[in-house]
């Protein structure tokens, strides 16, 4: 795959999470509407790209940023959304990442997102009250219902189960 500045980041290309990210961002830059949605696991990213959408795919972890986070959370509707706030340099973040990926395959009724709390996404991290990484926020109906700080897998599992049953 090519990796030019006009393409989506490599993690979005490989996982095919975003449909045609470039097309959607170009539409947004031109002032055109971009629709966001959470896709069922059987939906195709080609359909999303054709519709000019950027979408999260159930059964995968979707990387989000300050521009895509809230639209995808709102598109999730009443689904449980779990967000992993991490940094590239965080050791505990790297340790829990594979376990988080496995959870996305186990809970197909939950939307799993990742937000790199880098300089570009700092305003969103501040808005969400992130003080340490990793921090996991669990949302329902676009509202934060639970937070788990640190790489505490058992606590995260319990919080997800509680949010799903509420």
- Can you tell me the distance from the alpha carbon of 144 to that of 24, in angstroms, rounded to the nearest whole number? 27
The answer to whether residue 93 is catalytic is yes
Which of the following is catalytic: 16, 25, 51, 90? 90
The answer to whether residue 90 is catalytic is yes
Which of the following is catalytic: 93, 117, 125, 128? 93
What lies within 8 Å, CB to CB, of 149 at 6+ separation is 131, 132, 134, 135, 136
- Can you tell me the distance from the alpha carbon of 62 to that of 56, in angstroms, rounded to the nearest whole number? 6
What lies within 8 Å, CB to CB, of 147 at 6+ separation is 135, 136, 137, 138
- Can you tell me the distance from the alpha carbon of 44 to that of 150, in angstroms, rounded to the nearest whole number? 34
**Which residues are identified as catalytic?**
90, 93
């Amino acid at each position: 795959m090519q990796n030019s500045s006009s393409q989506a980041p490599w993690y979005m290309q490989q996982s095919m999470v975003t449909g045609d990210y470039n097309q959607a961002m170009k539409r947004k830059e031109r002032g055109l509407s971009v629709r966001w949605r959470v896709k069922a696991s059987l939906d195709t990213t080609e359909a999303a790209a054709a519709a000019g959408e950027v979408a999260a795919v159930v059964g995968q972890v979707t990387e989000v940023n300050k521009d895509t986070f809230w639209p995808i959370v709102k598109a999730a509707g009443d689904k449980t959304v779990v967000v992993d706030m991490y940094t590239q340099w965080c050791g505990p973040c790297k340790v829990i990442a594979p376990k988080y990926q496995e959870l996305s395959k186990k809970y197909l009724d939950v939307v799993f997102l990742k937000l790199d709390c880098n300089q570009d996404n700092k305003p969103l991290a501040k808005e969400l009250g992130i003080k340490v990484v990793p921090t996991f926020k669990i949302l329902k109906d676009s509202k934060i219902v639970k937070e788990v700080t640190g790489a505490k897998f058992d606590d995260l599992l319990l919080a997800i189960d509680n949010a799903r049953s509420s």
